Amino acid sequence: MIDRVVLLVRIAIRNLLASPINLLIGGLILLGTLIFVLLGGMLDSLNQSMQRSVVGSLAGHLQIYSAASKDELALFGQMGNFPDLPAINDFPKIQEALSKVDNVKVVVPMGISAALITSGNIVDATLEKLRNLYKARDGQAGDPKLEGVPKEELERRIASEISHVRQIIKVLRGDVEKAMADMISAKSVEPRNVEALKRVEEEAFWAAFETDPYGNLEFLENRIAPIVTDTSLVFLRYVGTDLDKFQKSFDRMRIVKGSPVPQGQRGFLIADLMHEDQMKLKTARRLDKLKDARANGRLIATDDELKRFVKENRHQTRELVLQLDGIKTAALVTSLQGVLASKETGIDGLLSQLLDTTDENFDQRYQQFYELLVPQVQLYRVKVGDMLTIKAFTKSGYIQNVNVKVYGTFAFTGLEKSPLAGATSLMDLMSFRELFGYLTSDKAEELKEIQRNTGAKTVSRENAEAELFGEGADEVIAEATPGIIDPDAALAGTGRKLREEDLIRRVYTQQQLDDGVVLHAAVMLKDPSKLDETIAKIQQAAKDQALGIQVVSWQKASGLLGQIINVFRALLFVAVGIIFIAAMLIMYLSVLMATLQRTQMFGTMRAIGAQRGMILSMVLIESLVLGVIFGGLGMVAGAGVLALIATRGIAAPNDVMYFFFSGPRLIPQLSTWPLVVAMVIILVVTIGSTLLPALMAMRVSPLRAMQADE
């Protein structure tokens, strides 16, 4: 039997080399296999890269959330429209149960939400600074940083800030005059604003300023500050979590500016890309983007986007001028005249010249901007060390706010420029619970103190109505549960709220962090290859112990973003299917012609004793040898092309693709499944396109076959 197979293989190889049609068919097989292996390897590498991005930046390998949720969890691609997830009240029980599941490494509690924060305008900030200086001078409580500052120094700073306010008023007056000179814009100028500006421009106003500084500051705050319309809202997307556990579990996370939040304390970490894009001085951010673009080979002279950045910088100097007081302006004018060799005397004109960057002068102008101008202005609206006030609607519908200290900014290694990975900031779990309207240990402590001081008694929810509204009802306080509360309403009139400084310094135990509600949690695995198996075990544990949770993979948890890879895979198989259908049709016609040309040979072989089965086997083995040889060459060629591409990688065409590539470049790797699938398809196509023509040839009688050429 073996000898017969060897003989048929030798005949097949001889026939392959003897027929040009076979070489044509082989070329089609080689090309199709090369394309499939190449695209399959690219797709698999893209899948692995995207998995690293999703798993390493927020989702973990798995996500769990309440089984009562009507919405599906989607962590990426949302803009405030987050899924309505019921709270998980007994997280310690769930954490303990999941820790006993094989392959579960750690469970990280989470809660995703969003809020809008306002940065205020430069007039508000300057007037607030001036008010604090007056309070410090007069011995009133104000900015703690001003405590102990000598009175002479306070007077000097007050004079400097007043000079700054007058400089701002001068700029605003120029804005109004420009607007009134334009027929369309003039309609938007309110007469009361013109009147207010005229009053504060008069020397009499400032000569009498010290007679009633607080009253005059109130006038400036109410009448002048609203004229400036550069107050901006920032959409803040954040996740409340155990910050220490998060940083240890997501090893791609690194602190860029500032420091981590001390373990067990309240605090906030801003995503560094968001800090740069949304909270940095716009002119400085555009210069940074110009620098990065030029480092990647783009030129201002030929790139329309870079030209737009330069134009916007030249014409939008107002945000810089408003931050400069008279002393700073005079010093900066002198410095800029020197470095620019310019006779221009106006700060607007000098700044416009400085920001008129070209490919030739960019590096120098960039350095001059950061050396001369940045030290004189506020570069970031929210800085490391600031207290950030975040307001949001709770689950009950009322507005809650928390003040959290910004300890630093963070990014994920390789994803520093990805808008998807850099859109979500991190908040400590205790502040998140309070902002979301859930009972925290701090609020529970305050409620107990209220109860002690007022003598209120605790009643169950079942008896609350009778106790509160029945006859002889005493003063009571309802039994609290770890659910939604209105803490401001509960504490109204007590005057016993915890001070902000106490909350910042307070250190919470791990038990306090765990004993509270969460909305969802990330599950990190020891062996990610056992993902489906682990999901099944968690589902079984949830069922056996009535945990009330559901579990989804990283791909499903990432929402629409995670399904993109399935679309890519479907498109690949559709494209490959079309290629191989066309190849099969061509091969069928080619094999049919080749088989019919060999009808006489088949007849002669049968006339000398060859059976139909042997001839059919010979034809099929020829097809298999054809597929294996040229398919193998196609696999080798595809693997070679992948290896060649991998030496340099594929550069991400834009910032969005950083997330899909898990970095600035995609490094494709050869996978096993494209090779296996390619070989199966080759065998199916070659045998399928050969079998029918061979069976047709076998139906011809030996005598007729031998007379075919007569």
Domain boundary among 379, 399, 423: 379
Residue (of 385, 354, 376, 383) closest to 367 by Cα position = 354
**Residues 395, 517 within the same domain:** yes
Range of the domain at 326: 282-379
Considering the domain boundaries, does residue 500 fall inside one? no
DSSP H or E segment with residue 109: strand 104-118
Considering the domain boundaries, does residue 707 fall inside one? no
Q: Which is more confident, 225 or 582? A: 225
- State how far the Cα of 433 lies from the Cα of 468, in Å rounded to an integer: 28
Share of the chain above pLDDT 70, in %: 76
**Token pair 């998980």: residue:** 88
Instruction: Categorize the per-residue pLDDT at 274 as very low, low, confident or very high, splitting at 50, 70 and 90.
Output: very high
* Per-residue model confidence as pLDDT tens digits over 132-173: 999 989 888 777 778 888 989 999 889 888 888 888 888 888
Q: Which residues contact 469 (CB under 8 A, 6 or more apart)?
A: none
What pLDDT was estimated at residue 447?
57
What pLDDT was estimated at residue 599?
65
What pLDDT was estimated at residue 515?
85
pLDDT of residue 619 exceeding 90: no
The predicted model gives 493-509 an average pLDDT of 63
Instruction: Categorize the per-residue pLDDT at 600 as very low, low, confident or very high, splitting at 50, 70 and 90.
Output: low
**Residues 536, 409 within the same domain:** yes
* Per-residue model confidence as pLDDT tens digits over 115-135: 877 766 778 888 888 999 999
What pLDDT was estimated at residue 329?
87
- State how far the Cα of 694 lies from the Cα of 620, in Å rounded to an integer: 8
**Residues 204, 319 within the same domain:** no
Q: Among the listed ranges 171-180, 397-406, 484-493, 687-696, which one has the minimum average pLDDT value?
A: 484-493
**Residues 405, 519 within the same domain:** yes
Which pair of tokens denotes residue 2?
A: 């073996």
Number of domains comprising the chain = 4
Residue (of 600, 634, 624) closest to 689 by Cα position = 624
Under 8 Å between Cβ of 98 and 91: no
Considering the domain boundaries, does residue 449 fall inside one? no
Share of the chain above pLDDT 90, in %: 29
Q: Name the amino acid, one letter, at 271.
A: A
The predicted model gives 69-83 an average pLDDT of 72
**Residues 270, 291 within the same domain:** no
What pLDDT was estimated at residue 576?
66
Per-residue DSSP letter, 262 = P
Name residue 308's beta-bridge partners: none
What pLDDT was estimated at residue 658?
83
**Residues 160, 250 within the same domain:** no
Per-residue DSSP letter, 73 = P
What is this structure's pTM? 0.76
What pLDDT was estimated at residue 476?
43
Considering the domain boundaries, does residue 435 fall inside one? yes
Instruction: Categorize the per-residue pLDDT at 697 as very low, low, confident or very high, splitting at 50, 70 and 90.
Output: low
Cα distances (angstroms) measured from residue 532 to each of 48, 253, 301, 427, 536:
16, 26, 53, 31, 6
- State how far the Cα of 172 lies from the Cα of 284, in Å rounded to an integer: 22
What pLDDT was estimated at residue 8?
63
What pLDDT was estimated at residue 114?
84
Instruction: Categorize the per-residue pLDDT at 32 as very low, low, confident or very high, splitting at 50, 70 and 90.
Output: confident
pLDDT of residue 710 exceeding 60: no
Q: Name the amino acid, one letter, at 32.
A: G
- State how far the Cα of 25 lies from the Cα of 490, in Å rounded to an integer: 81
Considering the domain boundaries, does residue 187 fall inside one? yes
pLDDT of residue 484 exceeding 60: no
**Residues 402, 347 within the same domain:** no
Q: Which is more confident, 454 or 528? A: 528
Quickly list H helices, 558-671: 560-597, 599-607, 612-646, 657-661
Q: Is 216 left (phi over 0), alpha (psi -120 to 50) or beta?
A: alpha
The predicted model gives 18-45 an average pLDDT of 78
Q: Which residues contact 261 (CB under 8 A, 6 or more apart)?
A: 243, 244, 267, 268, 269, 407, 428
The predicted model gives 226-232 an average pLDDT of 66
| Contacts made by residues 655-660, CB under 8 angstroms, sequence distance 24+ | 655/417, 655/418, 655/419, 656/418, 656/419, 656/420, 658/414, 658/415, 658/417, 658/418, 658/421, 659/50, 659/53, 659/415, 659/418, 659/419, 659/420, 659/421, 660/46, 660/49, 660/50, 660/53, 660/564
* Per-residue model confidence as pLDDT tens digits over 318-348: 888 888 877 888 899 999 999 999 989 989 8
Residue (of 594, 586, 584, 677) closest to 634 by Cα position = 677
Q: Among the listed ranges 68-77, 241-250, 426-435, which one has the minimum average pLDDT value?
A: 68-77
Under 8 Å between Cβ of 551 and 64: yes
**Residues 78, 132 within the same domain:** no
pLDDT of residue 709 exceeding 70: no
**Residues 569, 695 within the same domain:** yes
pLDDT of residue 299 exceeding 80: yes
What pLDDT was estimated at residue 488?
45
**Residues 429, 522 within the same domain:** yes
* Per-residue model confidence as pLDDT tens digits over 230-269: 556 788 889 999 999 999 999 899 999 999 999 999 999 9
Residue (of 671, 668, 697, 641) closest to 35 by Cα position = 641
What pLDDT was estimated at residue 239?
93
Quickly list H helices, 67-150: 91-99, 122-137
What pLDDT was estimated at residue 493?
39
Kind of pairing between the strands at 399-412 and 424-428 = unpaired
**Residues 336, 205 within the same domain:** no
Q: Name the amino acid, one letter, at 196.
A: A
Considering the domain boundaries, does residue 91 fall inside one? yes
Considering the domain boundaries, does residue 494 fall inside one? no
Considering the domain boundaries, does residue 47 fall inside one? yes
Instruction: Categorize the per-residue pLDDT at 105 as very low, low, confident or very high, splitting at 50, 70 and 90.
Output: very high
**Residues 296, 386 within the same domain:** no
